[in-house]
Amino acid sequence: MHRHNGFRELDRRESLRLLSLVTIGRVVYTEDALPTILPVHFLLDPDGAVLFQASAASHMARAVRGAVVAFEADHFDEAGHTGWSVVVTGRASVVTNPVKEARLRSSGPRPWLETGDGIFIHVEPELVAGRVVDRNGHVPAEQVELSPADMP
């Protein structure tokens, strides 16, 4: 992977591994021709797809259906000047498979607010880009972990 001034690009496998360590990320989409970013609780499917729940009546749910969106999650240690960031870009769709929807309802990501009309959004991982940052430029991605206090 490439290194630049303390940044190191991650491959897809490393990026998805790090993404699986956290449960909160940000969905980036377009609403009324303007960029919008919202935090969500999410789950990473074994195939690398990002899944999160939204109110069916929300602006976000309407804006992301069938649209290409970005999803970002990260973890940083300010004191140690280390961290990582992963961005997944892909087409968003509503989960309509009844078996998958039932599984997500029982063990999937929960929304910030329970509205009673939640739908699950699936973001296909078409592009996955990650990077590790270390001011000394030497932290291998396999050593980047969360401390127990940071675990969900």
Tens-binned pLDDT, residue by residue, of the chain (152 aa):
555 567 889 999 999 999 999 999 999 999 999 999 999 999 999 889 999 999 999 999 999 999 999 999 999 988 888 899 999 999 999 999 999 999 998 888 887 777 778 899 999 999 999 999 877 655 554 555 544 444 44
Residue 146 belongs to some domain of the structure: no
Q: Count of domains in the chain?
A: 1
Rounded CA separation 20/81 (Å)? 21
Residue 101 belongs to some domain of the structure: yes
What is the predicted pLDDT for the residue at 144?
Answer: 54
Residue 149 belongs to some domain of the structure: no
Rounded CA separation 148/146 (Å)? 6
- Residue 98 belongs to domain with CATH number: 2.30.110.10
Residue 109 belongs to some domain of the structure: yes
CB atoms within 10 A of CB 43: 17
50 contact partners, CB below 8 Å, separation of at least 6 = 19, 25, 42, 43, 44, 71, 88, 122, 123, 125
**Residue 21 burial (10 A CB sphere; 0-12, 13-18, 19+):** middle
Question: Does the model's pTM come out above 0.75?
Answer: yes
Residue 113 belongs to some domain of the structure: yes
Residue 142 belongs to some domain of the structure: no
Q: Domain range for residue 52? A: 3-135
Residue 49 belongs to some domain of the structure: yes
Q: What is the CA radius of gyration of the chain?
A: 16
What is the predicted pLDDT for the residue at 113?
Answer: 72
Residue 143 belongs to some domain of the structure: no
